[in-house]
A and B are shown apart, each in its own frame.
Chain A
Amino acid sequence: MRPLRSPYNPIHIALGLVIWSLWFVALYGGLSVACRVAPPALSLGMWNWLNLLLGLFSVATVALLLGLARWSWRAASRAGKRSPERFAARLAATVHLVGAVATLVVAVPLLRLPPCV
């Protein structure tokens, strides 16, 4: 079994969507807690500190996922053709990309809606 840090460890195949899941929980949980503790004024619409914070968090998550996708893709190109390592690393790269796209799609409403209504 390869070490966890190796891009060829099969655990990385699921990592992108695990990160997406954690981001999703933090997004929903963070929104709920913030709306309870310090809801932004309704008059601010979607341009308020909470949407901005959640938006920045989402952008950082997308950046992380894209960086991991690049890391996995480069590892795949180093692996032998038709090897299981290449398959695992390429699959991991695409799963990271799916995670990044899913993060962007779910975060889009931050640009349209106020948070606590």
Chain B
Amino acid sequence: MSRDMPSPEAERLHERFNAVWGNPTGWRALTVVNHTTVGLRFLVTGALFFLFGGLLAMLLRTQLALPGRDFMGPDLYNQVFTMHGTVMMFLFAVPMMEGLAVYLIPKMIGARDLVFPRLSALGYFCYLFGGLILVASLFLDIAPKAGWFMYTPLSSAAHTPGPNSDFWLLGITFVEISAVSAGVELVVSILRTRTRGMTLDRMPLYAWYILVMAMMIVVGFPPLILGSILLELERAAGLPFFEVARGGDPLLWQHLFWLFGHPEVYIIFLPAAGIVSTLLPVFAQRPIVGYRWVVLGVLSTGFISFGLWVHHMFTVGIPQLAQAFFSAASMLVAIPTGVQIFAWLATLWLGRPVYHVPMLWLVGFLVIFVAGGLTGVMLALVPFDWQVHDTHFVVAHMHYVLVGGMFFPLMAGLYYWLPHFSGRMPSVRLGRWGFWLVFVGFNLTFLVMHWTGLLGMPRRIYTYPTGLGWDWPNLISSIGSFVMAIGIATVLLDIVLHFRFGLPAKENPWHADTLEWATSLPPTSYNFASLPEVRGRHPLWDDPGLPQSIAHGEHALAVIDHGRRETWGSDPLTGQTREIIHLPGNSWLPVIAAALIAGVCLSLLTRAYGLAALFALTSLGVLLRWSWENGAHPKAAPDAKTQPGDPPLHSRTCDGPGLWGMAVTLLADGALYLSLLFGWFYLWTVAPDWQVPERAGFDQRLLLASAVLLAVATFWQRRLLVRLRQGDARGLAGGLAGVAGLGLLHAVLLLWALLGGELAPRQTAHDAVIAVVLGYSLVHGLLAAVLSALQGWRVRCGYVGVETPYEPLVVEQLWYYNLGVLWIGYFALVLFPPTWGAA
């Protein structure tokens, strides 16, 4: 510990807490689930992937430094630039930002952990394994090579026949399990686990940014997950969603990709802006100007960013009026971003800024990001976009926005929180050298690249002839990129050396206002021995003695003799505490589940479908076992006793975090389903050679019967759970078993409809989409039936009942969701086509 020696009383309290919350070592370190460790693992792994992606960038710049070079052939060049973009976007930018949020959010909101710690661990291992699978493809010379946005038909089996594109589609989908799971738990944690008194208007701005980012991930990633599934189905099984000759449309891929891809830019930018909004007031030594305006700006940016995706498709032949809608929205998004920039400038103007190393990176961010934003407004103008589309101008703009908008604030944040990670301070001299080298190198590389683009150099060409005016700008860009690499090496050296030679950090070394600095440095695995009440937006400025009083157990939930990991469950608006959330401890289950899912991924890559099914079923079994250790289970919270005056345990109420987690997960699921419906209606409207078979393809009466059966089961379950809420659990176990039986019957009818008709999903995109819609409902129906059967069994075991009514209420939401989805599917597949002229 870097601070003064703690008192014996605090030391004893720490030992008791550590017995419950402590991390094991050796192989058992793989079982650790607490957010501090998982967050750091995300950050370190993300940094390693960044170095790999950076190395690829160096190879690209070496190739392009001079005209006519043969350092790399075209095939390898294609693999390298595709992997550079993919690694930087999917394995560095998003996971880094999520990792930092996973590490910081509970500390900032005064909680002891994220609300679903095992989900955090699962997310991390999915990210790690998925990333390794993807990166391994480059060493095997079978890496993706169709560009990081994998446009069809280039990425389709006809034009990229090897496993290259499969690595991207399966690997990225695997990694996205991590992104979405982190998104879900960040949303629920921020809304439901803030410490007492932390009302919505007292929440740190960083938490607002992460809330919006996490919601954007929940809604924004599913279109790409769907697109990847459809394209993999096309490549592996011949379902022609994107093939014109069989009724598909390659533009559908572009829509699905950019429905994700444009919000993705803001998913990366917003947490970075959150770092800026956290650090600037600290170094300006005053509260941020316009807290509510900044919150408004963040919300507006998040939403409007979903209305821009077509500006990546201005050259594909969309009507002018539609282009104008997206052009207007693209310019509109600059306004809420501008509001935040003016709030930062006003804070600097009115404050007394001190220029420590993190501030250098913040100023660098302001300069570079504003420049990138301005070229963004230029690109939002359709005629200009047509001129520079697919040139190096776009590459330069993208790097100004992403490196300026994400990397610079991230570096500021790393320097700022480095004492938190290690308890030591970095070197100021090395830090300044690192910054200036990166800043100069970056601008040398990418400022000049705008010019190369305006001179007409297309992106993604592996070499070019001399005499086109591109020689000098390319050489300057390459030299700049190496200067930037030296700068990054300097920063790395500083970080490595500081662990050994850095001065021990004082308590709250930057005089910050937020609660993460009230932990010890580095923090313990439980963050706070007692949970403080917050009375303002700046708890550490209001009460600088908080770190001591927290460590001495002077605040709430300071009792640990029960052996449970506990944190507050609070009201989303008022921050009043409503229940005590008990959290699961360390477990092998997340790493085992992730390893099995990796098995699914590898089996699919090698086309060993039987093995893939086996892995999938085994991983489902592990996940069900995971869900079994909940509520009143002996490994969770069999004893419901709490301290006098404290609220009940969440598993003894009707409103715990699982309900919220399920709701947010279903939001993501719903986004995926809506994307599928979008695909269906899009193909009906736009596909150039849409083909509707003359026969129906499946028995529509079976679908209707299945939907009716599902409605009966859902309302039967509702009746059972209304009675449970009223304290009557008679017949609950049998009832839930009956509901599960009806659910199973409904799934059987769906399977019959799917397999018993004349659907020919390999022949037309029409039948292929119908097969996916039916398959989606089938999988969901089976899952709901299994979960309800499991709940019935838990009733018999005594884990669910009048005192512990919570879990079936979580499952109930899935049934409502399935019911809605199936009836919408019935409308889309059966009732809609006749209105569009189909038989």
Contacts and interface: CB of A to CB of B under 8 A. Distances in A.
A115 B322 CA distance: 8
B332 A109 contact: no
Nearest to B674: A25
Contacts of B572: 1, 10
B325 A27 contact: yes
Contact of B200 (A18, A28, A84, A110): A84
B760 to A, nearest CB: 25
B643 interface: no
Given A84-B201, A87-B200, A109 B328 contact: yes
A31 B299 CA distance: 27
B300 interface: yes
B655 A1 contact: yes
A85 B319 contact: no
B296 A94 contact: yes
A88 interface: yes
A88 B300 contact: no
Interface string A2-19: 100000111001100110
A117 interface: yes
Interface string B340-363: 000000000000000000000000
B307 A90 contact: no
Contact of B307 (A21, A36, A51, A117): A21
Contacts of B299: 13-14, 17, 91, 95
B100 to A, nearest CB: 24
B295 interface: yes
B321 A10 contact: no
A114 interface: yes
Contacts of B681: 29
Chain B contact patch, size range: 20 to 34
B723 to A, nearest CB: 22
Interface string B273-316: 00000000000000000001001100110011011001000000
Interface in A19-50: 20-21, 24, 27-29, 31-33, 35-36
A29 B324 CA distance: 14
Contact of A87 (B292, B571, B655, B686): B292
Nearest to B202: A84
Contacts of A115: 319, 321
A2 B574 CA distance: 11
B686 A17 contact: no
Contacts of A85: 573
Contacts of A14: 299, 303
Nearest to B200: A84
A36 B685 CA distance: 7
Q: Which of A10, A98, A114 has the most CB of B within 10 A?
A: A98
A106 B573 CA distance: 32
A94 B200 CA distance: 16
B25 interface: no
B575 interface: yes
B193 interface: no
A36 B304 CA distance: 27
Contact of A116 (B300, B319, B571, B575): B319
A78 interface: no
Contacts of A21: 303, 306-307
A91 B295 contact: yes
B34 interface: no
Contacts of B199: 84, 87
A15 to B, nearest CB: 11
A113 B328 contact: no
Contacts of A27: 325
Contact of A88 (B310, B320, B324, B573): B573
A74 B516 CA distance: 37
Chain A contact patch, size range: 35 or more
A108 interface: yes
Contact of B300 (A31, A35, A36, A98): A98
Interface in A88-103: 88, 90-91, 94-95, 98, 102
Given A84-B200, A95-B299, A112 B324 contact: yes
Given A21-B306, A21-B307, A117-B320, A106 B685 contact: no
Nearest to A27: B325
Contact of A28 (B304, B322, B336, B573): B322
B296 A91 contact: yes
Nearest to A112: B324
A10 B200 contact: yes
B307 A106 contact: yes
A40 B498 CA distance: 69
Given A1-B571, A32-B686, A117 B296 contact: no
Given A10-B572, A109-B324, A17 B332 contact: no
Given A17-B303, A32-B686, A87-B200, A24 B324 contact: no
A87 B686 CA distance: 45
A98 B306 CA distance: 15
Contacts of A8: 573
Nearest to A50: B321
A24 B307 contact: yes
B535 to A, nearest CB: 11
Contact of B321 (A13, A87, A98, A110): A110
Contact of A105 (B321, B332, B336): B332
B329 A24 contact: yes
B325 A28 contact: yes
A117 B319 contact: yes
A93 to B, nearest CB: 10
A33 B837 CA distance: 14
A32 B687 CA distance: 12
Contacts of B324: 109, 112-113
A26 to B, nearest CB: 12
A113 B325 CA distance: 11
A42 B616 CA distance: 55
Interface in B673-705: 681, 685-686
A88 B296 contact: no
Contact of A95 (B296, B327, B571): B296
Interface of B: 199-201, 292, 295-296, 299-300, 303-304, 306-307, 310, 319-322, 324-325, 327-329, 332, 336, 571-575, 655, 681, 685-686
Given A88-B200, A95-B299, 13 more contacts: A8-B573, A27-B325, A31-B319, A32-B686, A36-B685, A84-B574, A87-B201, A87-B292, A88-B201, A95-B296, A102-B329, A105-B332, A109-B321
5 contacts: A51-B321, A84-B573, A91-B296, A106-B329, A106-B332
Closest 4 CB pairs of A and B: A109-B324, A17-B303, A87-B201, A84-B199
